[in-house]
């Protein structure tokens, strides 16, 4: 029965980073994944260019039932450390909006970089197409059985298999199943960074603006994000919606400011003075896509020339457009969710080593833990930081 120092289940971002650090320490490391290639989520991310980190990363960009858990790992391996690794491999990158960093070329360059770093240690072996079917705790560590009927033993076992988001990539509840096998608490997983769905009557009303995008501020449960929103044939999507979805719970309303950073009352009064004969939907159309202004005016019953709108009516328009209320009937679920909210309870883990408190030499890292980042490279940074941290101790 082959024996190694460390087995890492999951050859994604966190697993690869952990393998690199373990290998550097001279630990004979086996990285196992059910997929036919490593880093599949890395490959598809950022439209194939991988939003690999965010220069603004800090603990405030993460959700968890224990918001302090992520602090230690994020401080020990920062976004600047990963950027340094990217630059050392001469991978060209650029900043998009809000501190998001993307490869100039292909996300495969990030995957190749991580694999090369594994190989450079001389201590990391990667086995693909090898689902783990059973894990047994032994006095010396663990015995791990795979679907191709090979069993391995190890001193340390790391679970880096992510959550159930994007099941077409092979995502599953494997990590949670392992946690429960060893008596660990799991915070109920939910889709995060996911589009909202609307009911049929809402969709029928919105049919004329499906495919239209505009800049909004989306708010829910004291969180707010200003980015683009997209009307879709299922409901609402776009960065602002994906961000706020992590804070939304069943039954909540979301509040949309459809004209952010605009003093709409003053602007409408100025338009009334300068262009009194303009139709109201055309006036509002100066501040958002014309099709959206037409939809809103029809929905609210606003028609006629701007000259006919009193100050109190302008105040009402401002209130409606600054606080547009939408009640989603759900989300598109794990099928399109970028990440998972919830996961292995952080109270079960050491924030320094990521080892479980109940089971010696068992570690959990990355998305499988109850730590979820905002949209924009934050979840990759959590993978790098948590993988690096555990790699120092396995």
Q: What is the pLDDT of residues 41-78, one digit of tens each?
A: 999 999 999 999 999 999 999 999 999 999 999 999 99
Strand partners, 355: 363
Cβ neighbours around 329 below 10 Å, total: 14
Are 285 and 262 spatial neighbours (Cβ–Cβ below 8 Å)?
no
Q: What is the Cα–Cα distance from 232 to 229, expressed in whole angstroms?
A: 10
Length of the chain equals 394
Q: What is the Cα–Cα distance from 150 to 132, expressed in whole angstroms?
A: 10
Q: Where are the domains of the chain?
A: 3-190+338-391, 196-331
Closest C-alpha to 15, from 126, 144, 116, 134: 126
Are 240 and 228 spatial neighbours (Cβ–Cβ below 8 Å)?
yes
Q: What is the Cα–Cα distance from 305 to 287, expressed in whole angstroms?
A: 17
Closest C-alpha to 391, from 102, 8, 40: 8
User: Is 168 a residue whose pLDDT tops 80?
Assistant: no
User: Is 197 a residue whose pLDDT tops 80?
Assistant: yes
Instruction: Work out the angle between the directed axes of helices 79-88 and 378-391 (0-180°, nearest 10).
Output: 90
- Residue 188: predicted pLDDT: 97
- Residue 149: predicted pLDDT: 86
Residue 389: which H helix or E strand, with range?
helix 378-391
Report the mean per-residue pLDDT for the chain.
96
Q: What is the Cα–Cα distance from 33 to 107, expressed in whole angstroms?
A: 19
Which tokens belong to 88?
A: 């050392």
**pLDDT, tens digit, for every residue of 250-304?**
999 999 999 999 999 999 999 999 999 999 999 999 999 999 999 999 999 999 9
Instruction: Work out the angle between the directed axes of helices 13-24 and 378-391 (0-180°, nearest 10).
Output: 30
Q: What is the Cα–Cα distance from 41 to 380, expressed in whole angstroms?
A: 10
Closest C-alpha to 117, from 16, 35, 33: 16
Pairing mode of beta strands 213-220, 254-257: antiparallel
Q: What is the Cα–Cα distance from 166 to 169, expressed in whole angstroms?
A: 6
Burial of 104 (0-12, 13-18, 19+ CB in 10 A): exposed
Task: Report the top-level CATH class of 196-331.
Answer: mainly beta
Q: What is the Cα–Cα distance from 64 to 247, expressed in whole angstroms?
A: 11
User: Which whole-number Å values give the CA distances from 171 to 60, 115, 367, in the listed order?
Assistant: 27, 21, 11
Which tokens belong to 389?
A: 């941290």
If DSSP codes are grouped into helix, strand and coil, which group holds residue 247?
A: coil
**pLDDT, tens digit, for every residue of 378-394?**
999 999 999 999 999 99
**pLDDT, tens digit, for every residue of 105-132?**
999 999 999 999 999 999 999 999 988 9
Query: Residue 155 has what DSSP assignment?
Result: E
Residue 293: which H helix or E strand, with range?
helix 290-300
Domain topology for 3-190+338-391: FAD/NAD(P)-binding domain (3.50.50)
How crowded is the C-beta side of 222, counted as CA atoms within 13 Å? 0
């Amino acid at each position: 029965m082959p024996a190694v120092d460390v087995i890492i289940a999951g050859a994604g971002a966190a697993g690869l980073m952990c393998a690199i650090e373990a290998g550097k320490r001279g630990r004979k490391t086996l990285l196992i994944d059910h997929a036919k290639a490593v880093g599949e989520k890395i490959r598809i991310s950022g439209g194939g260019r991988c939003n690999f980190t965010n220069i603004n990363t800090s603990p405030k960009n993460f959700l968890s039932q224990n918001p302090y858990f992520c602090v230690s790992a994020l401080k020990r391996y920062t976004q600047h450390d990963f950027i340094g690794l990217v630059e050392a491999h001469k991978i060209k990158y650029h900043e998009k909006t809000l501190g998001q960093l993307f490869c100039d070329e292909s996300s495969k360059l990030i995957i190749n970089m991580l694999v090369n770093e594994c190989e450079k240690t001389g201590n990391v072996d990667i086995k693909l197409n090898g689902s783990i079917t059973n894990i047994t705790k032994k006095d010396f560590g663990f015995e791990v059985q795979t679907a191709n009927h090979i069993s391995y033993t190890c001193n340390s076992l790391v679970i880096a298999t992510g959550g159930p988001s994007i099941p077409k990539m092979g995502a599953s509840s494997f990590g949670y199943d392992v946690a429960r096998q060893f008596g660990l608490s799991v915070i109920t997983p939910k889709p995060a960074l996911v589009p909202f769905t609307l009911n049929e009557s809402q969709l029928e009303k919105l049919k004329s603006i499906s495919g239209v995008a505009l800049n909004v501020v989306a708010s829910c449960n004291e969180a707010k994000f200003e980015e683009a929103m997209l009307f879709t044939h299922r409901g609402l999507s776009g960065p602002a919606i994906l961000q706020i979805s992590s804070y939304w719970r069943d039954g909540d309303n979301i509040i949309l400011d459809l004209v952010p950073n605009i003093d709409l009352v003053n602007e409408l009064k100025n338009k009334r003075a300068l262009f009194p004969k303009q139709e109201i939907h055309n006036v509002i159309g100066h501040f958002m896509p014309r099709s959206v202004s037409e939809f809103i005016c029809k929905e609210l019953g606003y028609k006629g020339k701007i000259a006919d709108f009193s100050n109190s009516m302008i105040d009402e328009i401002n209130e409606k457009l600054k606080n547009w209320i939408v009640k989603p009937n759900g989300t598109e679920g794990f099928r399109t969710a970028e990440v998972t909210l919830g996961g292995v309870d952080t109270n079960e883990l050491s924030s320094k080593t990521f080892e479980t408190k109940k089971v010696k030499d068992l570690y959990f890292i990355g998305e499988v833990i109850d730590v979820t980042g905002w949209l924009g490279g934050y979840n990759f940074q959590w993978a790098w930081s948590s993988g690096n941290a555990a790699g120092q101790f396995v």
